[in-house]
């Protein structure tokens, strides 16, 4: 997957963050994806994807204060950056262009 396009799973993770609003972390993101797609996802895949998205500059992260309930461990909070939003929009446009005119055919095929 090149820098210029988003994979399906990357899109899911970005969309989950957007659904949850800013300042979210790994646990609710996984829950959100599972809830919306109705299928379970590998938790580790979400974390690895988050790291990759951050390296690509599509999300930014920062550490929360230590949380006592977590044994003093902080949360890594994430937020989608403008570049991430732009790429999501590009991906959606590309997919819609591909789907354009196919909905009835695809629907009959099912």
Partner 1 sequence: MSRGRPPRLACWLLSRFVPADARDTVLGDLEEVYARRVAEGGRLRADVWYVLEAGSFSARFAWERLRELKGSATPSLLDFRLGARMLRKSPLLTVTGCVAIATAIGINAGFNEFTGDLLGEARWAEVDDRVVGLANFDTESGDRDARVLADLRRWREGLQTVEDIGAALRMDMSLVASDGSTAPVDVAEMSASGFSMVEATPALGRLLLSSDDGPAAEPVAVLAYEAWDRILGANPDVVGSVVRLGDTSYTVVGVAAAETYFPGPVDVWVNFRRDDATAASRAGPPLVAFGRLAPERSLQEAQLEMEQLGARLAQDLPDLYERVRPAVLPYQEVASGNPEMIRWALRIARTVLVLLLVVACANVATLVFARNVGRTSEIAVRSALGARRGRIVAQLFAEALVLAWLSAGVGLLAADWMLKWGGDIFWEAQRVPPPFWWDPGMSWPTIAYSLALATFAAAVVGILPALRATGSRLAATLQTTGSGGSALAFGRLPTMVIVFQIAVSVALFPIVFTMAVQTYRDEVAVTEFPTERYLTARILVDSNVELTSAATDQSAGEELRRVSVTGVTDGFMMGPTLLQRYGEMRDDVARRVRNEPGVRSVSLTTRLPGIIAESIPSMRLEVAGEEPPPNGWWARTATAEADFFQVVAPRVRSGRTLTQVDFAEDQHVAMVNEAFVTEVLRGQDAVGRQIRGFSAPVPARRVSVGTGGGTLEQGTVASQEADPGRPWTEIVGVIPDELTGAAGADPQVYFPLSGAGTYPIRLLIEVDGDPETLAPRLQAIAAEAEPGVILDEILPLADLRRNEVLQVHFRVGIIGFVALVTALLATAGVYALLSFIVSQRTREIGIRTALGAAPALVLRGVFLKTFVQLGLGVLIGLVIVGAVGVPGAGEGADLRTLWLTGAGVSAVLLIVGLLGGLIPVRRALSIQPTEALRADG
Report the interface residues with partner 1, using CB under 8 A: 25-27, 42-45, 47-48, 51, 63, 67, 69-71, 73-76
Q: Please report how close the Cβ of residue 51 comes to partner 1 at its closest, in angstroms.
A: 7
Q: What is the four-CA torsion angle of 95, 25, 52, 7, rounded to 10 degrees?
A: -20
The distance of closest approach from Cβ of residue 37 to partner 1 in the complex, given in angstroms and rounded to an integer, is: 18
**Closer to partner 1 at the Cβ: 19 or 28?**
28
Of the pair 13, 104, the CB lying nearest partner 1 is at 13
DSSP tag of 75: P
Q: What is residue 95's three-state secondary structure? A: helix
Rounded least distance, CB 90 to partner 1, Å: 24
What phi and psi, each to the nearest 5 degrees, are found at residue 75?
A: -105, 150
Residue with smaller CB distance to partner 1, 6 or 25: 25
* CB of 52 vs partner 1, minimal distance in Å: 8
């Amino acid at each position: 997957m090149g820098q210029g396009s988003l994979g399906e799973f990357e899109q899911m993770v970005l969309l989950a963050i957007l659904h949850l609003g800013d300042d979210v972390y790994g646990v609710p993101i996984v829950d959100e994806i599972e809830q919306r797609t109705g299928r379970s996802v590998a938790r580790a895949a979400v974390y690895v994807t988050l790291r990759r998205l951050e390296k690509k500059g599509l999300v930014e992260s920062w550490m929360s204060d230590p949380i006592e309930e977590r044994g003093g461990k902080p949360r890594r909070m994430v937020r989608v950056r403008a570049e991430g939003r732009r790429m999501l929009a590009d991906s959606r446009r590309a997919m819609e262009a591909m789907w354009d005119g196919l909905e009835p055919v695809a629907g009959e095929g099912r």
